[in-house]
Amino acid sequence: MKILFIIYSDLSQNTGQKIHVKELVENLEKIGNNITLISRKGNFKDIKVSKLYWYDYSINSSFIVKWFYYFFSLILFLFRILTNIKHVDIIYFRNYKLGFIVAIFKSLFRRKAVFEANGLSSAELELGRTGSFVKLMVKIYRFNEKITLTNSDKIISVTKTLKEIFINQYKIKREKIVIVNNGANTDLFRPLNKSILLKEMGFEQDYYYIGFAGSYKPWHDLVYLIDNALYVIKFIPNTKFILIGDGECKLDIIKKVKELNLSNFFIFINSIPYEEVPKYINIFDIGLILKNNNIPGSPLKLWEYMACGVPIIASNSSDFDMLLKYKFGILTNHTNDFNLGKTIVNLLRDNELRNKMGLNARKCLLKFNNWNEISKKIYKAITDEIN
C-alpha cells in the first residue's frame, strides 16, 4: 500500500514525536508498505522510507525575512503534498493543524484520510493559562479539532480516554475510532547490566536512582517530584533523581531544586541521542511518569521503561490502568501531600517486588507493544477503511 504520511511538527530533535514517527514509518515499510513522508521542518535523513521531504524554515534574520521564508516553505510543503497525493492510496497524518488542509485535499483527490490522535492540543493550551485571549484560542483549537476528527475516515487513538472524549465531547461515531497504544523498539530498549553501566557512566554504585526521561512540559507535573524528593531523602538518603531531557519548564525545575538545597540529589541531563537513552533508563531503579489528568495521552517513556524492565510509578490516571492489570507498576495521586514520596520509599524498600514488576513490564511490552505489532494493527485499521 502507498501511504502519504504528513507531519507538521519539528522533527529535527530526538523528541518523543520524532521517535514515534521514525519507528512507525520504518515498521510500516518493513511489512510491505511504500511510505512518502512529508514534514514542515526537520533534517531527518536517518529515517528509512521510500520518499522523504522536509522544509526547514528556521533562519537567523529580520522579522520580515523570517516570515517570508516561513510562507515560502509553507507553499513548498503544500506543493509537495499536491504532487504526491495522486500517487498514494491513503493519507495518514497526526497533527490537528493539518485537519483543514487534509479535508480539502482528500475531497479534491478522493482519497481517504487516517488521523492519529496522541492528545488534545486545546487541553494543552488551556492548562495553567487564563484570560480572554486564551479562551478565544482554546475555542479556535477545539473548532479545528472538530474539523479534523469529523473529516477523518478513521481515527487511531493512543488511549481509551481519548476515544471516550472524542465520542462524548466531539460526537464522533464509536466505530470510527480504533485504539492502538504506543510502543518501544525492543531491540534497542532492553534490559542491560546495571552494575556495568553505573561504572561505565560514572554513577555511584551505592545509590538508588529514580528516573524521568522526556520533555519538561507543564502537564508533566515535575514540580511535584521536587516537593516529594525531600520526603524520600529523609527516609532513604542514598537516593538520587535523574531527569533527562529539555523543555519549557526545565529552568523552573532547576531553580526550585536549588532553592530547596537539593542540587546534590538531582542529576539533570540534556537531550541525548536516541540510541543512548536505554543506557540511562537501565540505571533507574524506578521510572516515573507524572501527568496532569486533564491531559490524555500515552507517553513513549512508559513503553521504553517497560522494554528495559524498569518498574514504574505513574499518576493515577485511566491512561495507565495497565500498570495494575499486568502488575508492573503502581499508580499514585501525586498531587496529594507526599503520596508520591511515600510510594517511592515503599517500592525502594521492596527489592523483590521491584524485580517482579520489571520482569512483568518487559513481558507485557514484548507481547503487546513492540513497534512491529503496532504497525500491523495500524495497517489493519487502514486496510479495513479502504476495503
Structure confidence at residue 57 (pLDDT): 57
Contacts for 77-85: CB closer than 8 Å, 24+ residues apart: 77/38, 77/40, 80/38, 80/53, 81/4, 81/6, 81/38, 81/105, 84/4, 84/36, 84/38, 84/51, 85/4, 85/109, 85/111
Distance between CA 283 and CA 298 in Å, rounded?
A: 23
- Candidates 203, 290, 191; CA nearest to 242 is 203
Under DSSP, is residue 187 helix (H, G, I), strand (E, B) or coil?
Answer: coil
Output the pLDDT for position 308.
97
Which residue do the cell numbers 522533527 mark?
11
Residue in the structure block whose three cell numbers are 526550585? 256
Give residue 294's pLDDT band: very low, low, confident or very high (50, 70, 90): confident
- Confidence at residue 210, expressed as pLDDT on a 0 to 100 scale: 98
Q: Tell me what pLDDT residue 58 has.
A: 59
* 116 pLDDT more than 90: yes
Question: Mean of the pLDDT values across residues 52-74?
Answer: 73
Mean pLDDT across 130-136:
90
Taking the CB of residue 144, how many other CB atoms lie within 10 A of it?
A: 17
pLDDT average, residue stretch 278-296: 95
pLDDT at 346: 98
pTM of the full structure: 0.90
Q: Tens digits of per-residue pLDDT, 80-93?
A: 999 999 999 999 99
Structure confidence at residue 45 (pLDDT): 67
- Written as one letter, the residue type at 343 is T
* pLDDT tier at 47, thresholds 50, 70, 90: confident
Query: What is the average per-residue pLDDT within 344-370?
Result: 95
Ordered domains of the chain (ranges, CATH): 2-183+370-386 (3.40.50.2000), 194-368 (3.40.50.2000)
Q: Comparing C-alpha atoms, which of 143, 23, 149 is closest to residue 93?
A: 149
* 3-state SS class at 313: strand
Is the CB of residue 292 less than 8 Å from the CB of residue 161? no
Residue 89: its pLDDT value, please? Answer: 94
Going along the chain, which residue ranges are E strands? 2-10, 34-41, 51-54, 90-93, 112-117, 154-157, 177-179, 208-213, 239-244, 266-269, 286-289, 312-315, 329-332
- For the chain, give the mean pLDDT: 91
Q: Which one-letter amino acid corresponds to residue 53?
A: Y
Highest-pLDDT range among 56-65, 218-227, 351-360: 351-360
**Residue 101 has what pLDDT?**
92
Could you tell me the pLDDT band of residue 42, with boundaries at 50, 70 and 90? low
